[in-house]
Amino acid sequence: MSKCRYEGLIDGYLLDKLRPEERTDFEEHYFICRSCFNKMSERDEIIQVLKREGVLTAPAGQPAATERAGAWLRGAWAFLTPRRWAAVGVSAAVLILCLWLFLPRTGTVAPPLVLTGDETVRGAALTAVAPVAGVPEAPAFLEWQSAGNDMEYKVSLAGKSPLMTASTKETRLVLPEDIRARLKRGTTYTWQVQAFKADGTLTAVSGRITFKILPKS
Amino acid sequence: MEKNIEVQKGQSLEDAILGYRAVISFRVRKALGGSTPDWEDVVNEILMQAIEKVKSGAFRGDSSVGTFLYTITSRRIIDHIRQKTKVLRHAPEPIPFPDPHVETERGERARQIAAIVEQLKPKFRDVLYLYYYKELSREEVAQELGISPRRVSERVNYALKLVKKAVKP
């Protein structure tokens, strides 16, 4: 029995992947071709079951979150031959060299400081107290040294993405429980404090302080 | 090669039209949704309209029966959707009463299919998962599994064949 040329469209039709004109053409076709209609009905019945939650699971060893990244990497790896890899490496090195040579050098911009005769600023940087480096548990607060009287501090905390930003007049910020709950062992987090005067002038900034919640021994 | 469905010898045109109920039902359910309670009524209306046209001589046999029914079905679906949008939004929908016998049989077959799929080898389950559940293309499935697109097609077809063979007709 020869195969109908429309059979190849059955999956596309049932999964709504056909172009509109293909869909219309196929819909008219299965009104005429009993073979295609029967095959399509059988396939539809099976697909309805396959699409139910729990009938099928993701392939083992390929967590859903990295499926596409893995497929892309494998595709890229297969695409690049040794010669192409060498060309990519040389191009990357040349690009980095050009950037290093020709881009203007910029240092870190010091925060604008407004001083009166009576005021002193304790250096251009705020000193962080805790947490720094490794900690045994998720920290309950962030603490730093005072930058002066009547200051407002803006604190930022981030992991791989920003977690929170908050303002306080104290030299300590208690972390909300929902933020603490999100801090994971083995992950490096970064926080920073900025000090503002009452008129909104930035007067001091801490460096970016990193800490890590140590794994349980 | 298309296999045209022709009126069997001794079969009236009306009977031939009624034989298209399954095809029309599939088309209507796909357009309106199987859970829509109206779909059966729409199918009956289509069949009645087709038979009336045959009796009145409006259908002269210029096209095949299938094409004639496809045209009526498509128009009726569009009309139904247009009419539905005019219905009062807050009017309660009638609760559908599915045929218990049909539902039992359908449910039994679905359980059989699920049981057979569970017994398939992982390489077949994987392609079915990626191709039908995740709806990836053949090429994407091939990249994901590190096999050729042709091998993906072979595994999908073989898996479907195993399932169809094992499910009792």
- Among B118, B122, B135, select the one facing A60 at the smallest CB separation: B122
3-class state of residue A188 by DSSP: strand
Q: What is the mean pLDDT of residues B37-44?
A: 86
Asked if the structure places residue A64 within a domain, the reply is no
Pairing type for strands A209-213 and A133-135 reads parallel
Average pLDDT (A151-166) is: 88
pLDDT digits (tens, 9 = 90+) for B125-155: 999 999 999 999 999 999 999 999 999 999 9
Chain B within 8 Å of A56 (Cβ-Cβ)?
yes
Choosing from A17, A32, A50, the residue where a domain stops is A50
Give the CA count within 13 Å in the CB-facing half-sphere of A10. 21
3-state helix, strand, coil in chain A (%, to 5): 35, 25, 40
Query: Residue A17 belongs to what domain range?
Result: 7-50
The residue written with tokens 């893995």 in the block is: A70
Asked if residue A134 belongs to a domain, the reply is yes
Q: Which residues of B89-111 are buried (b: 16+ CB within 10 A; e: fewer)?
A: eeeeeeeeeeeeeeeeeeeebbe
Q: Which residues of B touch A15 (CB under 8 A)?
A: 132, 135
Q: Which positions 24-43 of A are in contact with B (Cβ < 8 Å)?
A: 27-35, 37, 40-43
More confident residue, B62 or A75: B62
Q: Which residue has the tokens 């007049």?
A: A169
Other C-beta atoms within 10 Å of B161: how many?
10
Mean pLDDT of chain A: 82
Mean pLDDT of chain B: 82
Tell whether A61 is covered by a domain. Answer: no
Q: Are A154 and A206 in contact (CB under 8 A)?
A: no
Question: CA-to-CA distance for B51 and B42, rounded, in angstroms?
Answer: 14
Q: Indicate the residue of B1, B22, B132 with minimum beta-carbon distance to A47.
A: B132
* Integer angstrom CA distances of residue A76 from A73, A81, A217: 5, 10, 39
Q: Is residue A41 part of a domain?
A: yes
Q: How far from chain centre, in Å, is Cα A36?
A: 46
Q: Is A186 a domain residue?
A: yes
Cα–Cα separations (whole angstroms), residue A161 to A70, A156, A209: 22, 11, 15
| Maximum pairwise Cα distance, chain B | 61
Least reliable range by pLDDT among A21-30, A107-116, A155-164: A107-116
Residue A137 in domain: yes
Alpha-helical segments (H) within chain B? 13-18, 21-32, 39-56, 65-86, 100-119, 122-128, 138-145, 149-166
C-alpha B133/C-alpha B136 separation (Å) is 8
> What's the domain count of chain A?
2
Q: Is the pLDDT assigned to residue B62 strictly greater than 80?
A: no
Residue A6 is classified by DSSP as T
Q: What domains lie within chain B, and their CATH numbers? A: 13-86 (1.10.1740.10), 100-166 (1.10.10.10)
Pairwise CB contact (< 8 Å): B164 & A56: no
CA angle in degrees (0–180, nearest 5) for B68-A31-B65: 35
Cβ separation B164–A50 shorter than 8 A: no
The CATH number linked to A169 is: 2.60.40.10
Residues of B in contact with A2 (CB under 8 A): 1
A120 in any annotated domain: no
- Listed as own residue / partner, the contacts of A67-74 with beta carbons closer than 8 Å and 24 or more positions apart are A67/B144, A70/B144, A71/B140, A71/B143, A71/B144, A74/B143, A74/B146
CA distance A12 to A18: 5
Higher pLDDT, A109 or A84: A84
Q: Among B6, B20, B75, B113, which would you mutate to test the A interface (most chain A Cβ atoms within 10 Å of its Cβ)?
A: B113
Backbone torsions φ then ψ of A15, nearest 5 degrees? -100, 10
Residue A72 in any domain: the answer is no
What is the per-residue pLDDT for A116? 46
